[in-house]
Amino acid sequence: MSAHASTDVPILECSGLRKRWPDGRVALDDASLVLHEREVVAVVGPNGCGKSTLLAALAGLETVDAGDVRFRGVAVALPRTGARPTKSDEEAARRHRLRIGVVFQSYGLFPHLSVGANCMAGPRHGLGLAANEAERRARAALARVGMEEVFGRAATELSGGQQQRVAIARALANDPDVLLFDEPTSALDPQRTREVGALVRSLAAEHRRAMVLVAHDLDLVRDAADRVALMEAGRLVADLPVKNFFATSDPMIRRFREHGKTVD
């Protein structure tokens, strides 16, 4: 549960996000979400409801048709559908991405680089740090996820669970203010799910940085999140403290808890 007063300026919020895919299907439909400093919010919802698209929009990686994303109250120059961004908008979006760490569902490690180089990539080419400082950060981040010994290995040699931990380290190496997780355990077997789940739980328990956690695994949500937002068809339809989410008798939330669906 958030320990912060509601009068605090949210670290990250979005309001009225709308997006249609080129084929006309709705991806985001007036999506709004608020994330406070050091808060962990879980976003849950049925498959294909737009969770990944929402995360990408929050990170400034997805074009939107309408709506805003604000970082500490300041609107981010989001890429807009059909418009070529100006140089300064592009640079502003890049600065925004530097503050947001993203852990993708399928890791997204760079296969042509070593583990160390994957983790140095952000500090080196994103933050523009010198090589030795970037390496120091990469090693520290790998140590945080318990993977310091694979620094020189090829990223492709690792197991799925190890790759996901390296992907988390890669995001941490930029020291972002917000971490976005997109179903970090869904591609893993039960054993690896436990390992990575433990890592996500411990990062959440630190309360060092705000997190948005898109997850299917409701046990992970129960352990890690302060709040839960339920998404359906591109829209956030419920938003409540984690205890209430698991206690409420609201029929839609119950249906989702029990069957993973919001409608029959």
Partner 1 sequence: MPKADDPDALTGFEIELMDAIGRALDLRVEPVLGDWLALVDLMKSGRADLAINGFEVTEERAAEVDFSAPYYVYDQQPTIRAADRARFGDFASMRGGADGTGTFVPVATLNGAASVDVLLEFGWPREAIREYDDGLAPYAELKAGRVDLVVQDGVVAQYYAGGDPELVNLAPLGQTGTYAALFRKGDAALRGEFDRALAGLKSSGELAALYRRWKIWTPEQASIGIVERVGDSVATGGSETAAGADGVDAARAFAWPAVLWALAKACVNTILLTVLAMPLAVVVGVALAIAMRSARRRIAWPARAYVALVRGTPLLVQLYLVYYSLPALGLWLAGEIPSLAAILDVQAALTWPAFLVAIVVLAGNYGAYEAEVQRAGLESVPDGQRRAALALGFTHRTTLWRIELPQGFRTMLPATINDLNSMIKDSSLVSLIAVPELMQVALGIGKATFMVPAVLVAAAAYYLVLSLVADRLARRLAAARGLGIVPGAQRGALAGGAR
Ligand X SMILES: Nc1ncnc2c1ncn2[C@@H]1O[C@H](COP(=O)(O)OP(=O)(O)O)[C@@H](O)[C@H]1O
Distance CA 76, CA 228 (A): 24
Residue 261 touches ligand X, criterion: CB under 6 A: no
Q: Single out the residue of 50, 47, 52, 53 nearest to residue 262, CA to CA.
A: 47
| Contact residues for 50 (Cβ-Cβ < 8 A; gap 6+) | 27, 28, 29, 31, 231, 233, 234
Distance CA 154, CA 133 (A): 21
Q: Which stretch binds ligand X (CB under 6 A): 43-51, 137-145, 163-171, 253-261?
A: 43-51
Candidate residues 36, 37, 53, 262; the one interacting with ligand X per rule CB under 6 A:
53
Candidate residues 38, 51, 144, 235; the one interacting with ligand X per rule CB under 6 A:
51
Distance CA 123, CA 132 (A): 10
- β strands within 104-186, DSSP E: 178-182
In angstroms, give the least distance from the CB of 216 to partner 1. 14
Residue 52 touches Mg ion, criterion: CB under 5 A: yes
Which token pair is 217?
């695994």
27 interface partner picked from Mg ion, ligand X, partner 1, none, CB below 5 to 8 A per type? ligand X
Distance CA 125, CA 103 (A): 18
62 interface partner picked from Mg ion, partner 1, ligand X, none, CB below 5 to 8 A per type? partner 1
Which token pair is 199?
């890592």
21 interface partner picked from ligand X, Mg ion, partner 1, none, CB below 5 to 8 A per type? ligand X
107 interface partner picked from ligand X, partner 1, Mg ion, none, CB below 5 to 8 A per type? partner 1
84 interface partner picked from Mg ion, partner 1, ligand X, none, CB below 5 to 8 A per type? partner 1
**Positions that interact with partner 1 (CB under 8 A):** 52-53, 55-56, 59, 61-62, 84, 90, 94-95, 97-98, 100-102, 104-112, 121-122, 125-127, 155-156, 167, 170-171, 174, 182
In angstroms, give the least distance from the CB of 61 to Mg ion. 13
Distance CA 59, CA 107 (A): 16
In angstroms, give the least distance from the CB of 11 to ligand X. 22
Distance CA 67, CA 138 (A): 35
Q: HSE on the CB side for 54, CA within 13 Å?
A: 36
